[in-house]
Amino acid sequence: MSTTMDAQTFIHSLEEEILHHEAVHHPFLKRFASEKLTVEQIQTFGLQHYQLVKVFVNYMTNLLPKIPDKDAADLFRTVFDDEFGQHTIFRSHPALYRNFLKALGLPDEAWGRVKILPETSRFIEGHKEMTRGKDFLFALGAIGPGHEFSIPTMFAYLIEGLKKNTSLTDEDVEYFSLHIVEDVEHAVVFNKLISRHVETEEGQKRLRDGALQSLAYRKTFWDGLQRAVFGA
């Protein structure tokens, strides 16, 4: 006989599951953190990852109108403010990411010219589809626990590799270090909303399915990068 977990227990157990998921400790991340990297390898990573960075806010704008809670826009205000840059677009997350690309020696033209890996496209198309679909809880799982909660763990590996292999300044890698802090706060906002919808086993299932689907796309994305950066 199974009893339904209460909302907080469910969220906690899902977070534990994500912390140990293969996508957030992918071999690509481990190699990026530990091996000697050339600037070309880091640039290859940087340009593929930029494709995800620049569309992230679209998932949020797809998702928001589907959430039945009247205070959803208020709850997410801080998330949007952080994404768009509080008072200036120069601090939007894509803008901070472009600072990183520039510091890597990549000119503006390189950002548009990059050949997008099939795995990168699959990640983006998959998330657009999930957040455009009618199941808001599934989408909430993909963007809340699937993104905001999982990112600090993955970015720690990336920062380690960047620090070891480049002379980039703290400012140059701010995009990454800032997400380690901000996404912890964003996950809290998402959880506040999520906790209202995961009182039932059905709600828990939909939410978890969304998170795991997002992580499956994430694993595929790192698979692609492993091939492109390390050749295997």
* Residue 172 binds to Fe ion (criterion: CB under 5 A): no
The answer to whether the CB of 215 falls within 8 A of the CB of 21 is yes
Residues 6+ apart with CB under 8 A from 160: 32, 33, 34
C-alpha 30/C-alpha 10 separation (Å) is 29
C-alpha 21/C-alpha 140 separation (Å) is 18
Binding residue for Fe ion, selected from 21, 26, 49, 93, defined by CB under 5 A: 93
Between residues 37 and 63, which has the closer beta carbon with respect to Fe ion?
63
Stretch that binds Fe ion, among 42-50, 101-109, 184-192, 210-218 (CB under 5 A): 184-192
Which is nearest to 106 in space by CA: 155, 40, 158, 164? 40
Between residues 37 and 149, which has the closer beta carbon with respect to Fe ion?
149
* Residue 119 binds to Fe ion (criterion: CB under 5 A): no
* Residue 152 binds to Fe ion (criterion: CB under 5 A): no
Give me the long-range contacts of 16-22 (CB less than 8 A, separation at least 24): 17/208, 18/145, 18/146, 18/149, 18/150, 18/211, 18/215, 19/153, 21/150, 21/212, 21/215, 22/219
CB of 78 to Fe ion, least distance (A): 10
* Residue 186 binds to Fe ion (criterion: CB under 5 A): yes
* Residue 197 binds to Fe ion (criterion: CB under 5 A): no
Between residues 41 and 141, which has the closer beta carbon with respect to Fe ion?
141
CB of 57 to Fe ion, least distance (A): 8
* Residue 94 binds to Fe ion (criterion: CB under 5 A): no
Cα distances from 158 to residues 45, 154, 166, 222, in angstroms, run 10, 7, 12, 12
CB of 36 to Fe ion, least distance (A): 29
Between residues 77 and 227, which has the closer beta carbon with respect to Fe ion?
77
Which is nearest to 67 in space by CA: 205, 183, 194, 186? 194
* Residue 218 binds to Fe ion (criterion: CB under 5 A): no
Between residues 157 and 175, which has the closer beta carbon with respect to Fe ion?
175
Binding residue for Fe ion, selected from 183, 198, 214, 218, defined by CB under 5 A: 183
Binding site for Fe ion (CB under 5 A): 93, 148, 183, 186
